Amino acid sequence: MIESIDEFEKQLRQGRGGVILYTLTHIPLPENYREALLNACLNDLRYDHQCEHSRGEYVFELIQIAGNSDYYRGQILTKLKTMDASEETKYDLLQLMHLTRLFAQSGDLEARNAL
């Protein structure tokens, strides 16, 4: 059970279902939780990229549940357009592209053009 922003962020990093349940019951998300979700959108928070699958679909589902997907989409597309492709940001870039693809598949023309 999530009772604090620290627990929310911890479970978000781990890709746990408690975040989905919390989000379903706390719409709209409080500001600090919304910012934690945005951070998870813009940064690949996985601990071990070799063992853990991409969190793109997980984060995309959270965006859809939380509402205000235009806000998250706008931030994702802005970062995607301004990001460099250095080795340090490779996984963040891949996640941004994954999220952009999911927006494009759901009919978003701006996301489609960004790809």
Look at residue 50 in the predicted model and tell me its pLDDT: 86
The pTM (predicted TM-score) of the whole model is: 0.92
Per-residue pLDDT of 66-92, as tens digits, reads 999 999 999 999 999 988 777 678 899
Residue 15 Ramachandran class (φ > 0 left, ψ -120 to 50 alpha, else beta):
left
Look at residue 37 in the predicted model and tell me its pLDDT: 98
Per-residue pLDDT of 53-63, as tens digits, reads 889 999 999 99
Amino acid at 15: G
Measure the CA–CA gap between 14 and 60, rounded to whole angstroms: 15
The distance in angstroms from the start CA to the end CA of the chain is 37
Which of 67, 60, 66, 61 is CA-nearest to residue 111? 60
Mean pLDDT of the chain: 94
Look at residue 94 in the predicted model and tell me its pLDDT: 92
Measure the CA–CA gap between 10 and 8, rounded to whole angstroms: 5
